[in-house]
Chains A and B, each alone.
Chain A
Amino acid sequence: MTWSRIGWRNLGRNRKRTVLTALGLAVAFFAVVFIVGWSQGLMVEMVESATSLVNGQIEIHDAEYRPDRSMYDTIGGREGTDIDALFRVIDADPAVTAAAPRVYAGGLVSSGSATSAGMFMGIDPVRELTLSRFLDPLVRGRMPAPGRNELLVGEEMARQLSVALGDEVVVVASGADGSMANDLFTLVGIFRTGLVELDTTFAVMPLGDLQALVVLAPERIHEIAVATTDPWIADATAERLGAALPPTERAVEVVGWPTLNPAMVEYVALGDSMYFIIIIVVFSIAIFGVANTMVMATYERRREFAVMLALGATPGSVRAVVLYEAMALGVISLAIGATITLPLMVWFHNAPPDMSWAVADVTLMGALLSPSLRVEYDPQFWLVAALALFATALLASLLPAWRAARVPPADTLSAL
């Protein structure tokens, strides 16, 4: 492979220029890998936040429950169902990491002269803590104990009602029997989700206490939220669970977050399509730098090419020399690029710099995003970026290679 060796050696002719050109490609490689890694980090955080802060990755409801969320549409029908039997099936699924029952009811929370509209959420305190993150840690106080009329409210509702831990609040809701359910509850804790609508309206209490308040039988619940090992297997797991659950009087729907929050799925898909645009833009900029260098390098060596051609080299071999040179440049660039990129990726993946001193938390589509620069690994995309780097080097060399092969030997040499 004489031609390839010549191409490789040519890179050493002007090392400074070679290094600068390689750096251009290496930085382009770093830029796309890092930007995309960061963007994917943001997407992953968004999905994880949206599916673990309060909601699960999968929700199980009565088939009629969404979107009206009527309190009468309990899982399994108007008489409820054997909740424990459902949990035995759900907990046994290998992909499920946590599952928790929930009861919801709308009403009012009042203290003194202040009254807020409230959404009451009845939870199993033990199971809930394994599933969602918003109650752990609490801003203040502790989890409510079942059977003692204790509740938690969001930070903003506590502020609007001017209540502190230990205060009694009046809770009013419409009972399932049409009665005006009302009772006194003691505020034992305050939570913060960072999502204003939840922090303003949600009040959390043990499931049994809420069922007693609104006159729902203990076997009547509205939702089972389920967490899985990976948000992206939610749909498949939901399908499996749906088939495995014991039959109930009324149909049950098991849906993954992609169905519950289609906007987020579209957002992630939009992000994916952006990555290729980023590659094209960044390497389009780089290609002109490389082309410029290659044009210069081949122009300088016109006489060499003339000699090669005069000595019997075919135009094809001359082209090959230039293209081999471009390939070699790609190899060097990739080596430099990987050397810059990999350590930074590892760093930003494991210990992302916290930007909260500069930027506040952001909420997006029901997800809370912390301002960190965490990056996600995506080896498949790295491969794509590496191929794009080689493609750029080769594309940039096509014109110089073609011109080098067409150098007229006699004319060029006679100008010596």
Chain B
Amino acid sequence: MLGSESGSERTHRSWLFTLVVVASVASVLWMAAAGTASAQTDPRDILDRIDRLLRGDSSRGVATMQVVTEHWERQMTMEMWSLGTDYTLVRLRSPAKDAGTATLMAGDDIWNYLPKVDRSIKIPSSMMGGAWMGSHFTNDDLVQESQMRDVYDVEVTFEGERDGDQVWELRLTPKPEAAVVWGYIEFLVGQTDYVPRWAKYYDEDGALARTMEYSEVSEFGGRLVPAVMNMQPADKPGERTTIRYEELEFDIDVDQSFFSLRTLQSGR
């Protein structure tokens, strides 16, 4: 996390960075792989497919993250590696002040490496709801690693044309035992390309908490991926976090040993 603004402010933006980094990447992967599954309408299969395709898959990418808040605006460039849903390493390249700062996610744990003090610190579980790198994502978003069909019950609430686009609208409701802060999530997915259009996160009172928009579907490593993801908190209209992929490659040569504290601290 690195940074909770005076504690409680950011706690309710929880869950999926994996849906950011992963779902979009994944949905694309899967889109490529699932190009033949034309009229696949069982929503659980859709989610399943994302998960299956993600598992064991690896990626490396470079992205810029722009964070706009009421008080400041900053842009970071980061390089990221992933292996399956369990391992992710993110390292900032810029701005200079924070360059080298890195985050390692392994299973449920998150470590942050701070080059200025040359130390890695593990994020305590009480801070998992805090903001990640000052963005509108939380630490919890980064470590979401369960299969979506294990966490959510899913139903298709709309199927057909919307704005000239053949889409499914899915509604993901957390299973009773799932440790998820959302009341439910609405997910709009294209029928032809299987690319998500947007996801809306609602809190337990059914009020919209944040919206994630996916856009600029582009080809990376032979796959179609939404290059831009834009996260907007509902309670702060002027604020957003936008991630844009500059590079993205798949099935890279990386194994579990790469995602270690040693790599985290090595500066590359």
User: A residues bordering B, Cβ < 8 Å?
Assistant: 68-72, 104-108, 110, 113, 115-117, 119, 170, 172-184
Instruction: Determine whether B107 belongs to the interface, using a CB cutoff of 8 Å to chain A.
Output: no
- Separation of A187 and B67 alpha carbons in the complex (Å): 34
- Interchain CB contact (< 8 A) of A170 among B1, B95, B101, B117: B117
The answer to whether B117 and A183 have CB atoms under 8 Å apart is: yes
Asked, given contacts A72-B71, A174-B2, A180-B2, whether A117 binds B116 with beta carbons under 8 Å apart, the answer is no
- Separation of A113 and B5 alpha carbons in the complex (Å): 23
In the A-B complex, list the 5 residue pairs whose CB atoms are closest, starting with the nearest: A174-B3, A110-B121, A178-B72, A180-B2, A182-B114
Chain B residues with CB under 8 A of A71: 5-6
- Interchain CB contact (< 8 A) of B5 among A70, A108, A180: A70
The answer to whether B117 and A174 have CB atoms under 8 Å apart is: no
- The chain B residue sitting closest to A113, CB to CB, is B122
Asked, given contacts A106-B6, A106-B7, A178-B134, whether A115 binds B117 with beta carbons under 8 Å apart, the answer is no
The answer to whether B5 and A170 have CB atoms under 8 Å apart is: no
- Interchain CB contact (< 8 A) of A176 among B72, B114, B123: B72
- Interchain CB contact (< 8 A) of B127 among A105, A117, A183: A117
The answer to whether A117 and B134 have CB atoms under 8 Å apart is: no
Chain A residues with CB under 8 A of B3: 107, 172-175, 180-181
Interface string of B9-40 (1 = CB under 8 A from A): 10000000000000000000000000000000
Shortest C-beta distance, A109 to chain B (Å), equals: 9
- Separation of A101 and B134 alpha carbons in the complex (Å): 27
Shortest C-beta distance, A403 to chain B (Å), equals: 72
Shortest C-beta distance, A363 to chain B (Å), equals: 21
The answer to whether A182 and B117 have CB atoms under 8 Å apart is: yes
Chain A residues with CB under 8 A of B122: 110, 113, 115
Q: Which of B71, B73, B126 has the most CB of A within 10 A?
A: B71
- The chain B residue sitting closest to A110, CB to CB, is B121
- Separation of A57 and B133 alpha carbons in the complex (Å): 37
Q: Which of B69, B126, B127 has the most CB of A within 10 A?
A: B127
- Interchain CB contact (< 8 A) of A177 among B1, B72, B112, B126: B72
Chain B residues with CB under 8 A of A69: 6-7
The answer to whether A116 and B114 have CB atoms under 8 Å apart is: no
Interface residues of B in 66-86 (CB under 8 A from A): 67, 69-74
Instruction: Determine whether B185 belongs to the interface, using a CB cutoff of 8 Å to chain A.
Output: no
- The chain A residue sitting closest to B121, CB to CB, is A110
The answer to whether A179 and B71 have CB atoms under 8 Å apart is: no
Q: A177-B72, A179-B98, A182-B114 are in contact. List 5 more A-B contacts (CB 8 A).
A: A72-B70, A106-B5, A108-B2, A108-B121, A117-B4
Q: Which of B98, B119, B123 has the most CB of A within 10 A?
A: B119
The answer to whether B72 and A172 have CB atoms under 8 Å apart is: no
The answer to whether B6 and A108 have CB atoms under 8 Å apart is: no
Majority secondary structure, A binding face: strand
- The chain A residue sitting closest to B131, CB to CB, is A174
- Separation of A172 and B130 alpha carbons in the complex (Å): 13
Chain B residues with CB under 8 A of A106: 4-7
User: B residues bordering A, Cβ < 8 Å?
Assistant: 1-7, 9, 67, 69-74, 95, 97-98, 101, 112, 114, 116-117, 119, 121-124, 126-127, 131, 133-134
Chain B residues with CB under 8 A of A180: 2-3, 98, 101, 112, 114, 133-134
Chain A residues with CB under 8 A of B114: 170, 172, 180, 182
Q: Which of A174, A176, A184 has the most CB of B within 10 A?
A: A174
Asked, given contacts A110-B121, A179-B97, A179-B98, whether A70 binds B133 with beta carbons under 8 Å apart, the answer is no
- Separation of A69 and B5 alpha carbons in the complex (Å): 9
- Interchain CB contact (< 8 A) of A68 among B2, B6, B119, B134: B6
The answer to whether B2 and A104 have CB atoms under 8 Å apart is: no
- Separation of A181 and B133 alpha carbons in the complex (Å): 10
- Interchain CB contact (< 8 A) of B123 among A70, A72, A115, A179: A115
- Separation of A72 and B236 alpha carbons in the complex (Å): 15
A-B contact pairs, 14 of them (CB 8 A): A68-B9, A105-B6, A110-B119, A110-B122, A117-B4, A172-B2, A172-B112, A174-B5, A176-B71, A178-B71, A178-B74, A179-B95, A180-B98, A183-B117
- The chain B residue sitting closest to A170, CB to CB, is B119
Chain A residues with CB under 8 A of B112: 172, 180
- Separation of A174 and B74 alpha carbons in the complex (Å): 13
- Separation of A182 and B118 alpha carbons in the complex (Å): 10
Chain A residues with CB under 8 A of B70: 72
- Separation of A113 and B9 alpha carbons in the complex (Å): 26
- Separation of A220 and B2 alpha carbons in the complex (Å): 22
- The chain B residue sitting closest to A180, CB to CB, is B2
The answer to whether A115 and B134 have CB atoms under 8 Å apart is: no
Chain A residues with CB under 8 A of B101: 180
- Separation of A179 and B116 alpha carbons in the complex (Å): 13
- The chain A residue sitting closest to B124, CB to CB, is A115
- The chain B residue sitting closest to A185, CB to CB, is B117
Shortest C-beta distance, B3 to chain A (Å), equals: 3
- Separation of A192 and B127 alpha carbons in the complex (Å): 24
- The chain A residue sitting closest to B97, CB to CB, is A179
Chain B residues with CB under 8 A of A183: 116-117
Shortest C-beta distance, B5 to chain A (Å), equals: 6
Chain B residues with CB under 8 A of A108: 1-2, 121, 123-124, 127
- The chain A residue sitting closest to B1, CB to CB, is A108
The answer to whether B117 and A184 have CB atoms under 8 Å apart is: yes
Q: Which of A104, A106, A180 has the most CB of B within 10 A?
A: A180
Shortest C-beta distance, A411 to chain B (Å), equals: 85
Chain B residues with CB under 8 A of A105: 6
Chain A residues with CB under 8 A of B123: 108, 115
- Separation of A172 and B126 alpha carbons in the complex (Å): 15
Shortest C-beta distance, A69 to chain B (Å), equals: 5
- Separation of A182 and B98 alpha carbons in the complex (Å): 10
Asked, given contacts A170-B119, A182-B116, whether A117 binds B126 with beta carbons under 8 Å apart, the answer is yes
- The chain A residue sitting closest to B115, CB to CB, is A182
- Separation of A409 and B218 alpha carbons in the complex (Å): 121
- Separation of A207 and B41 alpha carbons in the complex (Å): 60
